[in-house]
Chain A
Amino acid sequence: MNARHVWTVAKKEFRGIGQERTIVLAILLQVFIAMFSSFLVIGLTSLYDPASMDRSGSVYAVGYAGADSPLQGILEADDTFAVYRMDLSPAVAALKERQLAAVVYVPPTPPDAVESVQVTLYTLKNDIQTAVVGVELKEDFEEYETLLRYARADRLSAAPIEVAVPAGTGGQSFFLFIYGLLIPLLLFMPAIISASLIIDFITEEYSAHTLDTLLSTPLTFTEILWGKVFAAWVLVPLQGGAWLLLLGLNGIAVHNIVEVLVHVSAASFVLILLGALAALHFRDRTNAQFIFSTGLVVVLLVALAAPANPANFIVLLAAGADVPWHWAALAVVLCGTLLLATVIDRYARLIARRAMA
């Protein structure tokens, strides 16, 4: 195989991408997503954990109704709440008018009673601020629960081991969301786009009948194939790097950038080869894309089900965890890629020979 020929085909595909402004669209898309990625991050992390949303010292009004209890003292001691002693009906009415953030009703059950203490909590339906209030209330309820449990301690048979965990430790979800979910998603998006691009690259030659013209030049079929694969693959580290840059601009530091990009590039090569295989086999875009997307789901599911998969490595590396054996894992992925590449090369040769015959 002649490397210069491969490069010629790759150049042709790049020119095609540039001319059709498809790459402009891709960049636009990326900027578009980056534009609201900060909002996306905040919005989706709050889905993950509303506690990460707002701890800026806001004070929320809470209505307290029913019997006297230590809970009232706990709520009053919390700086987050201004507690108002009220009757239940006007309190709920004030809640509906958003003058209160929540209403707590406490029954006259004694602390050491046989039955449970059942507190009723009234909150607003589907409200972002209520989610924040709920997190604060939960902490106070847990404090009251500990108090009640202590009053009933002689009825318990076993006690869990105690470890002092500092109260109010939020924010892990934010970290987990960014490094454990957002970064792998963003990095594998270019890989998936490139894999469907290779399908377009190949099926287009068939549908536009341009393959014969190409083959009449000194290029061989496999050279054309690898040129296309190369063109699609190079986009992955470029786009992935752009994502990491954009995340950096948004204040999210990604560790081990080079290693992360190497892993993404290696894993995406497998996906692109699978796309190429589907395109070679079906020659028709609709079929190839459909089979490839179904196959993609299968591959991703199987990969994610295995511990220590490439995506997991990317998460660990991006978060700055120490992964001494990730190069070994990379070697395994590369071996698999090589195997797949050989299969495809053989298959392409077979197709070319059959076409000649």
Chain B
Amino acid sequence: MTAVLLLALFLASGLAAQSGVHLQDGLYAAVTDDPDVAAILAHDPLFTVHLVDSATLSRGLAGYDLIISGGRTYTAETEKGQAALSAFATAWRHYRNTVYTAEDDLFAAYPLWIDTVEVTSELDFTATESGQTVSLQPQGESVPSPSGPVEEVPTPPPVQAMPTGDLKEKLASGGNDQVSRYVDMVSGGPDLGHFKTPSQLAPPLPFDSLIYVFVFIFPLYFTSQFYMMTIANERVDRRGEALLSTPAGPLAIILGKAVPYFFLMLAVSSAIILLTGGSFLVLLPLVPVIVFFLAAALLIGMTARSFRELSFLSIFFSTVITSYLFFPSIFANVHAISRISPLTLVVLQFEGTGFSAADYLYATALFWLSSAAVLWLCVRNFNEERLFSQESLTSRIISFVRGAMARAHPIASLVALNACIIPLVFMVQLMYLVLLFNIPMPFSLILLILLAAATEEVAKSIGIIAVLRGTPGTFTWTNLVLAAVATGAGFLIGEKLLLFVMIAQVTGSVFGTILFSGVGLLWVPFLLHAGGAFILGAAVKAGGRRMYLPGLVIAAGVHALYNLILIGGAV
């Protein structure tokens, strides 16, 4: 069956390569009285072309996007009409190029050649740190003069030594710049230098990174799916019971099951690196991503109640994590935010810029720490009681957390739990940052403040709720105060420790100040964290589960207010 399918896949891709992808055929309706123009348009599948005589055309025609007559173009006054005109401009340029490429005197047909040289910006990120992008616009009337040292740039030679035959060949083959550009990059195709005619001048796109993200992330995502599935299969039918009764501990089972997938993912990544001719240093930032994928797959496999839930959770997870990895790396070299994604390091390595140990620590620390926290949670809960129960998702997570705590030392557990939760909170907050930093400044700041506050309060409440649910009787008001203090302390310890590890760009920016309450004396953020935990805990203690949401709103409101005042003081 698999062999048949693979053969079918092979044939189908052959068919698709042969006939092309027909997705936009006949999108624009064009009419002309000129057979030559009709012939040009007939080559472009985007158009349906109608050739009519001049008399019909002069009577006027409705319902066409584009009318070409007597060497002039007329378009419908719609967005589609404009699009059709632009598509025609491209088709006509292609036609003109074929005519000129057939000329004997190449340099009469193509008199101008552009040699493109790309230089690396030496700007540090001081300006982008404050959330602005540096413009390339002139500053005042005077001629710009470099402030740093001026390196001698050799005068380019007036004529490039390249055989005319090669140039002609290149002109004839250069049909679709956008596509060949990427195909060449990945396959390492023939490099004819940067020598181009003006019409071939594809603007230098900042999106090369896009390709790397897709090429590297998608195989990882698919492989982790299989790990997710084996974990879920252990639970279906209680198939894993036999495995659990063996002397192998939960850690041994989890790791043993993960090892094949880990190496498979490494192998796939290595194969891609070999194919693209990259450096194996690229594996360094990929390993924490692989570990994180496996940890998340384990958690999803252990928490999903059914295959449907598994499907949706994995789709949701992959969308979120892909945007986390993907969006920042688009802005590699442009914005400091880009450094939070390990994929940015991959892009930098491929570009030849490389990355420093500090960059590595900064981009991957959250991945390592989050994976460790999730893995630990899963190991503590990899037992019969948890694996085969049928709770809903949220209460399952709560019981996981409760299961991971030491019952004899609830306060110490709360401190530790909240310290461990910090990497995950940071990840979520950086995700907001990634999504929101494109929005104009005041909106992005306000949204960030609100979302960040709500996330922190939710994270802090998990531990308290877990204890409250586990042993409802012991939760007196005194104990609640103690629990809130422990939560605040744990949160603060985790936050400060992690900030200490990640002394880097984002934490110093305006965005960083909001997210991480970076400034101020230690007791102020401590009071805030403990206070928020107390509000939410008190609400749930007094009003039960129904009061969780109102409690969250109040706690997040207080938190957001504090941050707003902090920003007010800082600005």
Contacts and interface: CB of A to CB of B under 8 A. Distances in A.
Interface of A: 16-17, 20-22, 25-26, 28-29, 32-33, 35-36, 39, 43, 46-48, 50, 58-61, 63, 66, 82, 84-86, 88-90, 92-101, 105, 107-109, 111, 114-135, 137-138, 141-142, 144-145, 148-149, 151-153, 155-166, 169-176, 179-181, 184, 193, 196-197, 200-201, 203-204, 207-209, 285-286, 291, 294-295, 297-298, 301-302, 304-309, 311-312, 315-316, 319-322
Contact of A122 (B119, B133, B334): B119
Contact of B311 (A141, A169, A197): A197
Contacts of B103: 156-158
B8 interface: yes
A180 to B, nearest CB: 4
A61 B22 contact: no
Given A29-B316, A115-B159, A131 B104 contact: no
B526 interface: no
B203 A131 contact: yes
A98 B134 contact: yes
12 contacts: A16-B306, A35-B435, A99-B139, A117-B112, A118-B157, A145-B111, A169-B82, A180-B27, A297-B9, A301-B16, A307-B19, A322-B63
Contacts of B133: 129
B53 interface: no
Interface in B56-102: 63, 68, 71-73, 79-80, 82-90, 92, 95-96, 99-100, 102
Nearest to B237: A207
B351 A165 contact: no
Interface of B: 1-2, 5-6, 8-9, 12-13, 15-16, 18-29, 34, 36-37, 46, 63, 68, 71-73, 79-80, 82-90, 92, 95-96, 99-100, 102-105, 107-123, 133-139, 143-153, 155-160, 178, 195, 197-199, 201-210, 226, 229, 233, 236-237, 305-313, 315-316, 319-320, 323, 327, 330-334, 351, 392-393, 435, 438
Contact of B137 (A36, A60, A125, A295): A60
A172 B392 contact: no
B78 to A, nearest CB: 8
Give 4 nearest A-B pairs by CB, closest first: A134-B203, A172-B86, A175-B83, A141-B198
A308 B111 contact: no
A71 B333 CA distance: 31
A76 B351 CA distance: 34
B199 A304 contact: no
Contact of A125 (B115, B157, B159, B333): B333
B148 A97 contact: yes
B136 A100 contact: yes
A281 to B, nearest CB: 9
Given A160-B95, A321-B27, A322-B29, 15 more contacts: A36-B435, A58-B135, A66-B155, A98-B136, A108-B158, A118-B157, A118-B159, A127-B333, A130-B203, A145-B198, A149-B109, A172-B82, A176-B87, A200-B311, A305-B21
Given A125-B204, A126-B206, A197-B311, A184 B23 contact: yes
A310 to B, nearest CB: 11
Contacts of B111: 111, 116-117, 145, 148-149, 151-152
B112 to A, nearest CB: 4
Contacts of A88: 153, 155
Contacts, number: 399
B308 A141 contact: no
Contact of B22 (A29, A90, A306): A306
A32 B319 contact: yes
A145 B24 CA distance: 32
Contacts of B71: 161-164
A141 B68 CA distance: 26
Contacts of B80: 175, 319-321
A97 B147 contact: yes
Nearest to A16: B308
B86 A171 contact: yes
A108 B76 CA distance: 45
Contact of B153 (A92, A118, A173): A92
A189 to B, nearest CB: 10
B15 A169 contact: no
Contact of B156 (A96, A105, A184, A316): A105
Contacts of A162: 71
Given A86-B143, A116-B112, A25 B27 contact: no
Contacts of B12: 297-298, 301-302, 305
Contacts of A133: 136, 203
A114 B249 CA distance: 80
A286 B2 CA distance: 13
Contacts of B8: 295, 298
A179 B83 CA distance: 11
B99 A48 contact: no
Nearest to B18: A305
B22 A32 contact: no
Among B16, B63, B90, B392, chain A packs the most CB atoms within 10 A around the CB of B16
A125 B147 contact: no
Nearest to A124: B121
A200 B136 contact: no
